[in-house]
Amino acid sequence: MLKKNVLTTLVLLLAVSLTAVHADKRQVILDRVVAVVGGSSILYSEVSQTARQLVEQRRAQGYTSDRDPMNEGLEELMKQKLLYNQALIDSVVVGMDGRIEASVEDQMQRLIAEAGSVTELEIKEHMPMFSYRDILRQKITEQVYAQEMQNHVTSSVVVTPGEVERFFKELKDDDKPLVPEQYVYAHIVRSPSAQDEAKRRTKERLLDMRERIISGKSTMAILARTYSQDPGSAMKGGEYPPGPLSGLTPPFADALAKLKAGQISEVVETEFGFHLIELIDEPKNGMYHYRHILLKPVYTLEEELEPTKYLDSLALMIKSDSITFEAAALEHSQDNLTKMNGGLVTNHDLLMHYNAGNVKYTATKFRREDFGERQQDYINLIQLKVGEVSSAFVTTDVSGNSISKIVKLLEIIPTHLASMQEDYLTIEEMALEEKKNKVFDKWMKEKIDGLYIFVDPEFREGDFKYSNWVK
């Protein structure tokens, strides 16, 4: 009887297994290739996923498209494949800022949170986590390289003042941009007076780590995962894929260039903090493969609050008319970019930080979305009336270093239709974008004509921006 029951159980288990296998096979069969661009294929599941993402993005932004999202999704993927492959052919270099690994990690953590656990995500995706991570990394890599290729195609496009004026004159009133509310403001900035002491402590921590690595008590990879404050590389043991020195900040690049494979640098200071750098292997074709540990100076609570108390006292003096904000900025602010002009805030530090230092793009008017790293400024400004000064608050500069500041609201510019006199840079940006789009569209059509492209019959009647996808 026992043998019969065991046999019956085995038969049932086999039937369930076969059913599951059959279901898996059916899934694979249904997930067919719907397009081929050059040598890259696109699956139906990829199109479906991209279509859902497009719909969700537009819903979040408050608009919809008249086009079928499946056709839009397919065209977006075909465009990405074309650009990615062209980027490899043209040896387009992606900047070494860790954005690929950072994006992979961000998305992985979001997906795990949505699924409930790593195990649940593996069940949902029908694969182990390391395989899914590799697939996600490839997708993000293609997206980043595709964007770099598109930027490369349009990088030399410029517009003249005459073109900007002609563009604006040809705009219908309904097409003229509505410029959102803007803020003009000034600030006074102070760093903790214990900055030198905090830097000394940080250097000593890194020197201790260096000694542990050299003596064999630990490795750079283990210490990077445990202590590094670089979100783009910490989870990868501080490692970055090979890249050129030109993509790195000068002190870091100079130290890296002097290393031999396997060597550990001395402590290197940059605007981002302090680093230990290890060259993993000898450079090939000017590409450096390295890992690093980044530490930022850390302050005690008392040290961090010291400049805040200083600025609160200064704010009281300004509010009581004992000193003007402009004079206080000149005498007390440690921001050398603004102290000489009354503390008037511009985006010049952001332009320098992101190597976009064309002075003509220097702006003093900030829309809500322009604040970026300065969200604490915006939070304090919206509580003020024009002419008022805030209390002191702790924030960070563009490199992530702790600072304290007070802000003064100088002007609120209401929402308005753009004009050449008040909003030239906004109009210039629109004119440049239109010209870039024309150049890029011409380039795309030529590349599509020169490639082998297959589109599944189901999608051939769809509405494509580039009609020559279907041949």
Question: Which token pair is 452?
Answer: 């082998």
Count CA atoms within 13 Å of residue 463 on its CB side.
6
* CATH T-level fold of 195-295: Chitinase A; domain 3 (3.10.50)
**Which pLDDT does position 471 carry in this prediction?**
81
Q: Largest Cα–Cα distance of the chain, in whole Å? A: 100
Question: Which token pair is 322?
Answer: 């004992």
What is the rounded CA–CA span in Å between residue 30 and residue 262? 49
Question: Which token pair is 351?
Answer: 């332009």
What is the rounded CA–CA span in Å between residue 93 and residue 236? 21
Angle at 152 between CA 146 and CA 156, to 5 degrees: 155
**Which pLDDT does position 67 carry in this prediction?**
87
- Fold match between 178-194+300-417 and 195-295? yes
The domain ranges of the chain are 1-30, 161-177+420-435, 178-194+300-417, 195-295
Check: CB of residue 356 under 8 Å from CB of residue 363.
Answer: no
Hey, CA dihedral for 334, 337, 340, 343, is it positive or negative? negative
What is the rounded CA–CA span in Å between residue 464 and residue 67? 9
CB atoms within 10 A of CB 465: 13
Q: Specify the pTM.
A: 0.61
Per-residue 3-state assignment (H helix, E strand, C coil) for the chain: CHHHHHHHHHHHHHHHHHHHHHHHHHHHHHCCEEEEECCEEEEHHHHHHHHHHHHHHHHHHCCCCCCCHHHHHHHHHHHHHHHHHHHHHCCCCCCCCCHHHHHHHHHHHHHHHHHCCHHHHHHHHCCCHHHHHHHHHHHHHHHHHHHHHHHHHHCCCCCCHHHHHHHHHHCCHHHCCEECCEEEEEEEEECCCCHHHHHHHHHHHHHHHHHHHHCCCCCHHHHHHHHCCCCCCHHHCCEEEEECHHHCCHHHHHHHHCCCCCCECCCEEECCEEEEEEEEEEEECCEEEEEEEEECCCCCHHHHHHHHHHHHHHHHHHHCCCCCHHHHHHHHCCCCCCHHHCCECCCHHHHHHCCCCCHHHCCCCEEHHHCHHHHHHHHHHCCCCCCCECCCEEEECCCCCEEEEEEEEEEEECCEECCCCCCHHHHHHHHHHHHHHHHHHHHHHHHHHCCCEEECHHHCCCCCCCHHHCC
Tell me the average confidence (pLDDT) per consecutive run of 10 residues in the chain, 471 residues long.
36 36 42 91 93 88 83 95 92 65 79 88 88 87 91 94 94 88 96 91 96 95 94 88 86 95 95 94 91 93 92 97 97 94 88 61 87 91 97 89 94 93 89 96 95 93 92 81
**Which pLDDT does position 16 carry in this prediction?**
34
Check: CB of residue 182 under 8 Å from CB of residue 345.
Answer: no
What is the rounded CA–CA span in Å between residue 74 and residue 70? 6
**Which pLDDT does position 28 carry in this prediction?**
43
What is the rounded CA–CA span in Å between residue 125 and residue 3? 38
**Which pLDDT does position 343 carry in this prediction?**
96
* CATH T-level fold of 178-194+300-417: Chitinase A; domain 3 (3.10.50)
Which backbone phi and psi does 450 adopt, to 5 degrees? Answer: -95, 5
What is the rounded CA–CA span in Å between residue 24 and residue 113? 25
Question: Which token pair is 254?
Answer: 């100079």
**Which pLDDT does position 400 carry in this prediction?**
79
Check: CB of residue 354 under 8 Å from CB of residue 373.
Answer: no
